[in-house]
Amino acid sequence: MTTFQALPLPQELLENLHSLGYEKPTPIQAQTIPLLQANKDLIAQAKTGSGKTLAFLLPLILKLDAQEHFPQALIIAPTRELCEQIAGEANKLARYKKDVKVITLYGGTSLRTQVASLEKGADILIGTPGRLLDHFSRETIHLGQIKTLILDEADRMLDMGFADDILKLVSNLPKERQSILFSATYPENIDKLTKVILKNPTEVKIASKEKEVAIEEFVYKVEEKDKALLTTIKHFQPNLALIFCNTKVKTAEVSDMLHDKGFDVATLNGDLEQYERQEMLLQFANGSLPVLVATDLAARGLDIEGIDLVINYDVPMKTEDYTHRIGRTGRADKSGLAVTLCDAYGLRKLGEIKPELNTQNIASLTPNKNFYMQGEVATLRIDGGKKKKVRAGDILGTLCKDIGIENKDIGKINVYQKNAYVAIKKTVIKKAFNGLKNGKIKGKNLRVWWLD
Ligand code: ADP
Ligand code: MG
């Protein structure tokens, strides 16, 4: 199969896929979509970045029944970030249908807010195991009409010790349902989930050869890691760099160090509030903070376009973590670079988890002293979003027509329930900031914040 046209999909959906830039299905999509449309239970394994999200969302969205009042699909995923990402993709894919409601449920945001949005009704629930169970025991979610169950990143959920929570949740779902499990790797203990949850599942596995050529991997033996990190960045000169550390404390230290050296840096770790994590990721993705220093929280599932360099400042503890970390680059068939920095301890660790990698001398790199990573844009947060009916076009209109900012100086616009964010070239951001502060969007006076 070479195009989406070859699948029995409605014309409006095909047009929507086209407008989203999806022209032909990836191998995992080509193989699983027909099976899922035939209502089969499925275990699917494919490397990260192979398009698994669309593979399970597309048949699901087609299947939704507009007449149904209760949630029809439950998607369980390991992290808040991944839930948001899946929800974003679901909303985009469902644009052609009227009134598809997607709700995300994860910890770190108030239960009460979530209950309030649940009360308005939902078609698709996307959540982490713990929070879903929480809602279930409080009887704030209704699972009696769930027709499709999807476990995304099942390997990761097992790693995080969610198996029991998942099994408990699933035991409360209707027996008549389609169950689907997606995973990047296929650990042995996965039987724990598959045996109980799936009925005569079809297994689809896409070999991961092509992927490995897309990411070039380098390992450097180093004495001082901070210095080596700077050398690496200044040699490879990436557009967007993701740096992994093993601990929260280390992410803060490395961020501070890079900041002191003149880099625009975002930090992501489990100490941050949910909204802070979202803002960090957003500023990284829109280029305001082109370096992200993170724990393994950012290693799974996250799909940010254009990450061209992943650096392991610390050697990860497990082979899977290594695979997932470097899988953040080389997404959607673009090539990527992964560098691992090893001190004496790191070398021993790497010998255990990736013995096949060769080590090189960092002295072979030729750093450009004058290379820095600074955002050409910065981000403004507007205290108004979908709830106040603010759309990207309204913000663009105010900026261009009322304030006189040129279209070419305006970057990504992201609109959420309560807030909206817009990236603006630093050369004109002051003008944009003052203009928005004193002006109106859709006739409303909204508060504006300049993030840095
Ligand atoms: P996985 O879950 O397998 O790690 P994702 O579902 O996150 O991968 O997809 C990786 C990237 O590929 C995303 O940016 C997604 O938008 C893009 N993508 C998915 N399907 C297609 C397609 N058919 N054509 C082009 N890009 C696609
Ligand atoms: Mg995924």
Tell me the mean pLDDT in the region 109-135.
95
pTM of the model: 0.61
Which amino acid residue places its CA nearest to atom 22 of ligand 1?
22
Most confident of 174-183, 296-305, 393-402: 174-183
Atom number of ligand 1 nearest to Cα 29: 23
The domain 377-450 is placed in CATH, from the list 3.90.226.10, 3.30.70.330, 3.40.50.150, 2.40.110.10, at 3.30.70.330
The more confidently predicted of residues 431 and 331 is 431
- The protein residue with its alpha carbon nearest to ligand 1, atom 9, reads 51
* pLDDT one-digit tens code per residue, 166-217: 999 999 999 999 999 999 888 888 888 899 999 999 999 887 654 455 788 9
Which residue's CA is the closest to the ligand 1 atom numbered 19?
Answer: 51
What is the per-residue pLDDT for 123?
A: 97
DSSP secondary structure string, 14-69? HHHHHHTT--S--HHHHHHHHHHHTT--EEEE--TTS-HHHHHHHHHHHH--TT--
Structure confidence at residue 335 (pLDDT): 75
Tokens 């910890």 correspond to what residue?
107
Q: What phi-psi label fits residue 438: left (phi over 0), alpha (psi between -120 and 50 degrees) or beta?
A: alpha
Classify residue 176 by burial, with Cβ atoms within 10 Å: 0-12, 13-18, 19+: exposed
Sorting pLDDT into bands at 50, 70 and 90, what band is 332?
low
Span(s) in the chain for CATH 3.40.50.300: 4-205, 209-364
Q: What is the pLDDT of residue 215?
A: 85
Residue 9's pLDDT band, with cuts at 50, 70 and 90, is confident
pLDDT at 211: 45
Average the pLDDT over each of 125-139, 329-343, 367-381 and give the range with the smallest value: 329-343
Second-level CATH architecture of 4-205: 3-Layer(aba) Sandwich (3.40)
CATH 3.40.50.970 fits 209-364, yes or no: no
Mean residue pLDDT across the chain: 92
What is the pairing mode between strands 410-415 and 359-361?
unpaired
Greater confidence (49 vs 226) lies with: 226
Question: Can you give the pLDDT at residue 188?
Answer: 81
Q: Assess whether pLDDT exceeds 90 at residue 1.
A: no
Residues 6+ apart with CB under 8 A from 188: none
Which pLDDT belongs to residue 208? 62
Asked if 71 and 145 touch (Cβ cutoff 8 Å), the reply is yes
Query: Which of 20, 206, 303, 333 should be mutated for ligand 1, with most atoms under 8 A from CB?
Result: 303
- Mean pLDDT of all residues in 158-163: 89
- Give burial (CB, 10 Å; 0-12/13-18/19+) of 378: buried
